[in-house]
Structure 1
């Protein structure tokens, strides 16, 4: 078995490990175990409160995942990002209890058996949680960029919508690339003379981490800048620009510019799109708030050594609480996704109610599963009957009602005599519409 390097420290970017007793005491004897600072307070914060929040967040995100995955108009629209975000939020919330809560509980009860169980599954769950956190970060950035393009009516909007699946896949791949090896970097050290004690197993890094440029380039620069600092700054800027644009937009909708029966539907759709923008803004703000503590700890680490933190009792306690709060806020942000989305978007709220009624009630409403999937419906038959009973052909003037499920969640039914062709732009009643692969986008 490899021997650990002479000095080891885990950066804050490697969340969840800082609270591990064996990392702080790798060279101690079997009889010199020292519990982490403020362990009773941290037990209540992490193991009790944090576990409750994590379980709630996991259930909520499973509900969101079912909602988005079971309806085609969500899978093929902007909510693709929300669906993937629900997947990784479920992983992050589900990993919190075995990774953080059990770890702190082992220190609180000083139970070697519980600590040994924790080590048996720590590395794979640790990797999954970090991949989930990082992929979620990139997905939020991608979703915010598309929402920014919609709000600003940017020329990049068409590109972002056509390549939505590619962008989302790239965000997931970046999450795997950035944190997929984080579990392999860790090494277990077993002290044979300490079997059955709290100090039987300790954790360190493999030799290649510090003996090569891997630590400086991958861990220090890439992971800190690309997965923490850059997304934080990008979201901060995009959210500021979106809020400023929303404040400048007039409250009047396009109803005043349209004539005909579609005016009310278009007005409703405009409001739905605005509400969808607000919901994503709140999701982004939750992320920014949660990651403020990440940035504070990151700056602290770069300007202070681990030995200096441990030697000062007060700062050691503050640092331990800072790390626990940062990890807790990550799952709090996951738990807030569902309340934010259903409070801002009426149709999502109604769809969630329908799902819950179907789950908890015996009687299921016999409604179409997905009205938005009815893309084009004929408004008239091929023959009409006049008052005199004469049947006349009406094939030449067939009314088509176009459903617009993209970017908002309410349909705008637009009467038109045009048939839609794939990859074409249309102007229908003064509205610019792009039709591609069965999806219409109101520009």
Structure 2
């Protein structure tokens, strides 16, 4: 079956492509992915699209269908195979149960649709039924001279999956506090932090900034601008090549940070220095904030996989941590708390780095003043538990 193949370029950057079951490069897919690289697809986007298109190519190989001769029913069969996990399985259940959510299936299908959209724009006569010409109108209001405006019709997909909206997971303040305490606590008798301060700082950064895990792990010390004279600290999220392929998914932006978290960063810097980071690192400014401190290579960038593995271990130690919890739950919690506290949607959208306010509304439009979320309705009260002694 076709697979997504990781490729290391001459400059050290990582990208992805698709090879078929005979281990040959899938040229039409590679042409599309190369187009994506030229228009600055994020590394994670390229990877996700490559994996989705590898599944599509496996489906075509299994059914003996040429990519440029597909019919409408082929897409329906592909959606069904994705939903019920039948792509790589010769077994077909009489009453199959879904193994992928509609949202996940929709993401896979979006990559395939984008591939065919590119091929159509390049002049290929493949699956023309996937797109229809539609005149776009912005609401019911029409300007005085709207009837003489020459607006080009836009292509719209004819195949869509509308997944049911799911509740956004939110962590309670007590749960976050319990995780902090399990990671590291301040010992006033010895004026030092006991435990792994690195992870306490990481969870605090995710919870108080709304960053994605990839954005946090991509931070270098030069990106953290400490506040002076009462001004808030500013953290720059910068797009740059990362040894592990991480990237700033939403592009570059600046996030303002409160004084508590800024002080915790200062404590963390001293914590690293106590472990020899200031001696081992030749270029402190360009070194990564979150790094290895327990194993070799020391002070090398921390991997996402290591964070997830650590969180799994913490679920065994901290009562109340939900089993499905991921680092992204901190981002959901941050956004939900800000919206419930009355922050304008456009402000929350900019802080999260969303492409548009509509993206924020699509995810968090359901947020209301219900009893389940009342504990995070006031952001100041929410972060009060994150205060720690002055050191």
What TM-score do the two structures reach when normalised by structure 1? Answer: 0.22
Larger helix fraction of residues: 1
Bigger relative contact order, structure 1 or 2 (CA pairs below 8 A, ≥6 apart): 1
Q: Which structure: larger Rg?
A: 1
